[in-house]
Each structure stands twice: as C-alpha cells, then as structure tokens.
Structure 1
Amino acid sequence: MTDEKIVIGAGTPYPLNGILSIPNEPNGLLPAIVLVHGSGPGNMDSKAGNTYLFKDLAEGLSEKGIAVLRYDKRTFVYGKEMKDDTGMSVKEETIEDAILAAELLRKDSRIDSNKIFIIGHSFGGMLAPRIDAEGGNFAGLILMAGSPRKLEEIMISQNDDLLDSLNWLLKMIARKQITALSAKFENLYNLNDEEAKSTKVLGKYVRAYYFKEMGEHPAGDYLRKLDKPVFILQGEKDVQAKVEKDFEGYKKILDDKRNATFKLYPNLNHMFMPSIYGNILKAQKEYKVAQKLDKQVISDISDWIHSIA
C-alpha cells in the first residue's frame, strides 16, 4: 500500500492531519472507508496503550484492495481550544469531520464515489448511523463494538460493573459518586438547551448539553429507517460494550431487516484483539500489551465490502 498524507477540513478553523492508505495495484476504481474514532481524544492510528486499531485496519484492508482514510480526532488536536465551548456536541467533536472525510474521498478520481463506507468503532459506531444520515451518504455502515443505548446509560452501566470489582470500602465511596452522577442524568431531558449548556455533569468542562443533544438523536431512530447494508461486529469478551445489551440490542432494532449482518468473535476484546484479563478495571492494563487486530476481522470486513461493491 501507499500512505498519502492528507488534511481533513483544510480551510476550516479545525484542519486535521490524516493518512489515506491506497492499495498498491488498484484494479479500477477503489472502494474506500472512513474510520471514525471511539470516545475521547484519539490520534489517527486510534492509539490505546500499545494497540493501534485504525493503523491495523488501514494496513489490513488496503492489502485487500480497499482504500482507507484515517485522521486525528478534533479534540485530540484542538482539545484546549474546545474545552470552554459550553455548546459543544458530537456534531463539532466527530460528525462534521467524518462528513468532510467522505467528501474528500468523493473528490478523489481513484475512488468509486458510490462505494464509500464508514467504520465506526465504539463511540464512533454509536454515531455512524447519524453521520450517514446527516451527510455522510455512505454505501454501507460497519459498526465495531458500538451501542444503540444512550451514552449516559452506558456510563452508569460501566460504573456499576466497576463497583462489582472493588473492595467494600472503595465500593461504598464509588456508589456515592455513581448515585450523584445518576441524579444529574435523571433530569437531563427536562433541561432546555441553555440550562443544559450551563450545567456541568463531569469535571470542569463536560456539560449536560453534550449528553442531551446526543441522546435526542438515538442510533435506533436512524437504524430503523436504514435501507442500506450494515455490518455489526463485537468481541465476546468486550467489557466496554455488552453482548446482551449492545450486540443483542442492535439485533432487536434490525430484526426484520435483510440488510443487516451480525458477527460475534470468541475471545476478542473491545479492540478486536485477544482478551487477556476480561475485567473492566484492567482494560487500560490490557491495552498496554502490544497486540494486533485479529486477521479474521479484517477478512470479514473486506469480504463484506467486496460482496456489496
């Protein structure tokens, strides 16, 4: 493959560096993929500890004749400038740049503009249906370890999982913190936008508006209307997305749709790499172990894209 340096959003207030991986021996116009990050600031390789999910995806899929576009997340580059924006939502954080990435691919003469796909990982998987509907206009969607649940539901659920791993003293302290956070979330949708923008829910900067705006655009609403192919993948040992709540949740939403494909991977974690600890408390420790994306996942995504393209 050839890695070409590109810029997403050139000429906007938030230009982002990225890489377009192009197969070495293209056979006609190429299908292409936009990669969309999980939660938090992330670089173009989606570095987590000593794992590099997006770099692995780009290398693996470009070897199979698919162009892959990855780029730094806006909050990774401009986090300091954005932290005081009380009206920041997932639109500014993620959606706008993913749409700009798709537009950049459509202008590339080597890319088949009718065969541009999105891969959203984790938080990116949650947003992918909305990105598609709001201007991405993809040929198909690939959701890796995503969730149809609201973000605040996932956070409370993950905190509850953490509780189960703590000793009695830490559990008592943590339970008070979780109860306080739950109380803030309970009133979320009773706030108007201005109230939500002035209400802090996490730390110094994260406002209720961020959760409220996202929660008012649930993934299920987009997925129920979706008539294009969607591929949903999850690792059985994922401790951040839940098989019974998330993978099965997608199945319920898409139950009657022939356009949906599902695959669950034994012993793979949230990064689609072999599970080591299987414990949410040790997730960061697990990611410090240098591992590669499972090759079967790359093959399955490639086969699915080529079957459509």
Structure 2
Amino acid sequence: MLLRYLSAAALALQSANAFKDASPFVLYSNSQLNAKDANVNIISAQSLQESVNHQIKGCPSDTYVFVSQPGVSANDLTLSKSTPHLRRRLSGKDDNVKSIFAAKNVVGEVDAMALVSTVSRECSTKTNTMNTLLLDGEKGEIPTQAYNAIHIRFPNLPTANDDRESALLQADSYLNSLLATLDSYTVLYAALNNIVPPQIQHPEQYEMDEPYPSNMHTDLKRDLNSHIARASNASNPQADLALFEKYQFLSPGIFMGGVVSILLFSILYVGISAIANLEVSYMAFSKEMGPAAQKKQQQQ
C-alpha cells in the first residue's frame, strides 16, 4: 500500500516538473476570429504558433496589441483578484469580446517576433503601411493616433505576494484603459521575453582605417581643437583680433631655451673675463741667458 502511494507521488512530481517552465497564453478579440478551441490546457509553442496563424488569417482586426509580461502564470490570469478586467473578458461576460483563445500551459518559448511577422504579413495586403508602436507598461502612455500594431512591455513580476498583486492590478487597469480607445482590436497576452522594438535603419557610414594603432600615437596627436583654421578672413573668427591675441610669441619651449642660453652665456662670460684679467709679463716664461744665469749654474 505504501509502495502504491510512493509511486503515485513520484508520477505527480514528474508531471509537475515537466511543466514547471510552461507559461500561459491568452488571445481575445472583439472581432470574429477562426478560433476552434476556446480553452486548451497544454499546448506546444509550435502548435500555438500554427493556431494563432489560423486565427488571425485575413487580418480581421484593425489593431493588434502584443502584451509582454515576463513571469506571469496561469493563476495570475484566472484566479488572482488583481486582474478583474482580464477575467471578465476571458469568462465571456464582456459583450464586446467575440473570440477567446486561452492556453494555460505553453511548453516551450513563444517566439514573439514570429507572431509579429505573421501579423505584418497578413495585414500588409489589407493596409499599405504597417504602423508599429512600442509602449512601456510602467509609464501608462495612451497613444493619440491609430496604429496597426502596439507592443506593450511590462517588467518582470515580483515574487512577493503584495507587490505581485499590485503590479498585476496596475497592468490590468492600464490595458483596460488602452483597449477603451480602440474600436477593433486583438490582444495577444503572454510572457513574451524576446519581443524587441522595431529597428530603425540608419545609413551606413564609411570609417577610414587607421594607418597606425591608436595606442601607439595617442601621445603624438596634436591638439587642434583650440586652433581654428585660417581659410579666409570671412570664415575665420580670429581675423579681427589684435596681434598679441591672435599669435602666441612666448611658448614654453622658447622660455626654457632662453633661460638655458642665459645660463650658458653667463658661464662663458665668467671664463673669458678670468682669462683676460691675468697679469703676467711676457719675459716670465723666457729662459735667462745672461752672466747672472751662468753664475747660478756654477753655484749649483
């Protein structure tokens, strides 16, 4: 009997671990979609992608709202009291919502950009241009003009119960205020971690390769920022300045050279003056050849 209970507990634990990384996915619209199943317990990310492609075929709505809230669970969307507007729409109590598709456990990571590409492909034939807007859920901005696709990114849900309920309530209220301004919409609500803003194309700029590595000639670069090119008097703002304001006549190099030159010339002057002041007769260095010299030699 005990062995049977242990086996059942092991199977339950294995089933729980199999879907611990699963996340919910919700799609609802005030347009009539090609939805086959309203509620699904377990679905793979690939099957979910195919189902969404089938439901939004033909682009029945004017605006598609992609809501990304990492860390959201199925209990947050169905059992929590902090999402009253979302629960009202998913339970069918909102008369404006005509199509509902909810998956409690999506196994695998949902490719948000694949969903965006599908919407762009389906709606490109219906509209000439695809206007996309990226919104920060914390700021609570409401767009004033119409967009074909709106991407809303909320921060990760906190783990604390009170903070989590507050974040869910704020997100639900903001999303309800945004949908109140739209006439025809389809909402895709999930933990879309890989959603990114639309890329802005910039023209490529030509970058010239450096002939020498930058770390070899950093100290040898001249500071040209303080000198203005003297192309002409009309384009040169220094043309009307005074002479001593326009040019620098005493640089540090000239100053040091002048000090050293004065020191060397002083030493040279002292040496020449000492030699010039010697008072020795010319006969002091000549050899005596007279009688007195011969007498001295005999005495020696």
* Bucket of the pairwise TM-score, normalised by the shorter protein: under 0.3
Which structure is higher in strand share?
1
The structure number with the bigger radius of gyration is 2
Which structure is higher in helix share?
1
The structure whose RCO (Cα within 8 Å, separation 6+) is larger is: 2
Normalised by the length of structure 2, the TM-score is 0.28
Normalised by the length of structure 1, the TM-score is 0.27
